[in-house]
Amino acid sequence: MDLQDQLKNLFPDHEPQDAPPEKENENKIWLQDDPIICKYEKRKGKPITILEGYTGANEDFKKLAKEIKTKLSVGGS
C-alpha cells in the first residue's frame, strides 16, 4: 500500500488536486559538473580569492561571485 492509498483511507472524501506548476527562479545559478578551484593568495599585501575552472556565462559568474561575497561577508570585485 503506497502513500496515496493510505491517504485515501484516512480522507475518503478528499479529491486530489493538480500541483501548481513550479515557477522559474530568476536568481537560479547554472551548476557545472566539475568543481571550481578556490585559491587564496596575497597580491601586493592584500588577500584575494581566485576562482578557477568556471565554465558558465559571465552573467552567471557575476551572480555566483555576489552570492559568495554575501555568504562569506567579504568585499572586492
Per-residue model confidence as pLDDT tens digits over 38-70: 888 899 998 888 888 888 888 888 888 888 878
Amino acid symbol at 22: E
Residue 7 pLDDT > 70:
yes
pTM of the predicted model as reported, rounded to 2 decimal places: 0.44
Say whether 64 sits in a helix, a strand or coil.
Answer: helix
> What pLDDT band is residue 77 in, cutting at 50, 70 and 90?
low
Half-sphere exposure of 35 (CA within 13 A, CB side): 3
